[in-house]
Amino acid sequence: MPEKKPHILLLINDEHRPDVMPVEGDPHIRTPTLDRFIDQGTYFRNAYTPSPICVPARQSFLSGLYPHNTGALENNNEMPSETVTMPGHLSRYGYQAVGAGKMHFPGPDQMHGWHERIGRDIRGRNGYESAKDPERKAETFTEPGTGKWSSAKEVTNARVGKGYWMSHDKYCVDGALMFLEEYFVIEAYDRPCNRQLLIAVSLWCPHFPYQCPEDLFNYYMRRVEPYVEDLPEKFACDDFFKVRIGEDVTYREAHRATAAYYGMIEWVDIQYARVISRLEELNVLDDFIVAFMSDHGEMLGQKGLWEKQQYFEASARVPFFISCPGGGSISTERWDSIPRGGVVEQNVSLVDLFPTLCDLVNVPAPEGLDGRSLVPIMEGRTDEWENEAYSELHTHQHGPSVMVKHEHLKYFRFEGKGWPEQLFDLAADPDENHNLIDDEAYADDLKRLRAKADSFNTRNA
């Protein structure tokens, strides 16, 4: 009798700071749905985005490749249709692949391996070229804020309300719930569902504009405080992301934006709870692998910066966990060696998700992936783990640039900008306040990390 594989649920959100999680010690944020699966799964404390901006990051963890190998270097770059993706590959092994919500696909290919998509993120010209511009190759998604108005304006606009993306997310979750009901119960002509399901529920929140329901806003206004910081010494970046409290915005405006951001994260957790509750009602939750990740973080005023496109921890590090099935109709023997509630400290990347899921469901991973299966370190076998992760940017604001995190050292640089290189020892300086680029004690480390950065963009290219 063939092995019965587990279903897979991917929970994805956008712009979630890694430290705004109870597991990271935040005393204010309430995310009981995510906490539940962290407690019974594996949490990756040092997980990094392949690129701290939406489209490149999402195409990377979908394909298991870093952006320079997907071709999706900026938000308006489309990934080639022939690129092997996680949903497309798993569908070859019997999975029904359904993507609900934000996928952020520019260009005519709005599927990239998904059998079905749900939500308001599916856009294209249906094969018709524009009469005014027949050479245009791709639709460009314009995110509110980026390129339209400054980060300071986003902070100023923060308030109680139904944020722009909340409507999209509500639509996505409602559609996902309807689909799950149909998939597991209302089979036309009483045909049993005999395919395993890969479903992603991918939300825009807590992406700016910073708005949330009034009850959540009021709760966090009484508990959280904004960051009031200046740029660190020997650091420079694009002015677009700099916000000076007392000059560009008031303290009260920064406070409101911070509270709204926290409220959006709790609102996201509430939406995930709706999905989990439906799976429990259908009596299939215990047959699911559940994974959660955000595409990148949010500076939230730290170091005088807002939004993303930075290599500081708040922007480049991401919350990430994987929880294996806990029973149901699926044998758990395959995952008995993975401790429940484990925390992995090694550096990992979201490009590792694709090969890891293949490993967990006993499917061969495609050749040529940049990612590595995380199963060995989930099982505690860390001796042979190459403890490093990379990130890259190719935007006009901060690109081309590259970051490498090896062990507890992080190095990054921006090409052609004239900005200082950055080197931080996160073991001694977790808040990244002291650039060690000129410290002789780290000269050998700097040489080694520069060499890693030099070779990164040529890997598998």
What confidence tens digit (pLDDT) does each residue in 198-225 have? 999 999 999 999 999 999 999 999 999 9
- 280: which 2 tokens? 């429990």
Phi, psi of 124 (to 5 degrees): 180, 175
- 59: which 2 tokens? 């195409």
Find the mean pLDDT for residues 172-192. Answer: 84
> Is residue 67 scored above 90 in pLDDT?
yes
Find the mean pLDDT for residues 95-100. Answer: 96
Residue 53 DSSP label: S
> Is residue 129 scored above 70 in pLDDT?
no
- Please, what is the average pLDDT of the chain? 92
Among 56, 46, 32, which residue's Cα sits nearest to residue 395?
56
Q: Where are the alpha helices (DSSP H) in 32-81?
A: 32-40, 54-63, 67-70
- 181: which 2 tokens? 């009901």
What's the rounded Cα separation, in Å, for the pair 389 and 402?
11
Find the mean pLDDT for residues 5-26. Answer: 97
Torsion of Cα atoms, 174 then 175 then 181 then 182, to 10° = 160
- State the CATH architecture for 7-386: 3-Layer(aba) Sandwich (3.40)
Among 295, 406, 400, 259, which residue's Cα sits nearest to residue 346?
406
What's the rounded Cα separation, in Å, for the pair 305 and 298?
9
Phi, psi of 409 (to 5 degrees): -105, 140
- pLDDT band, residue 185 (cuts 50/70/90): confident
What's the rounded Cα separation, in Å, for the pair 297 and 317?
7
pTM of this prediction? 0.94
What one-letter code names the amino acid at 388? E
Find the mean pLDDT for residues 352-371. Answer: 97
Q: In the chain, pLDDT over 70 holds for what percent of residues?
A: 91
Instruction: Output the CA torsion sign for 324, 327, 330, 335.
Output: positive
- pLDDT band, residue 62 (cuts 50/70/90): very high
**pLDDT tens per residue, range 270-310:** 999 999 999 999 999 999 999 999 999 999 999 999 999 99
> Is residue 154 scored above 70 in pLDDT?
yes
- 305: which 2 tokens? 């910066």
Among 9, 53, 75, 44, which residue's Cα sits nearest to residue 349?
44
- 317: which 2 tokens? 């590090």
What's the rounded Cα separation, in Å, for the pair 206 and 58?
16
Among 193, 13, 42, 211, which residue's Cα sits nearest to residue 102?
13
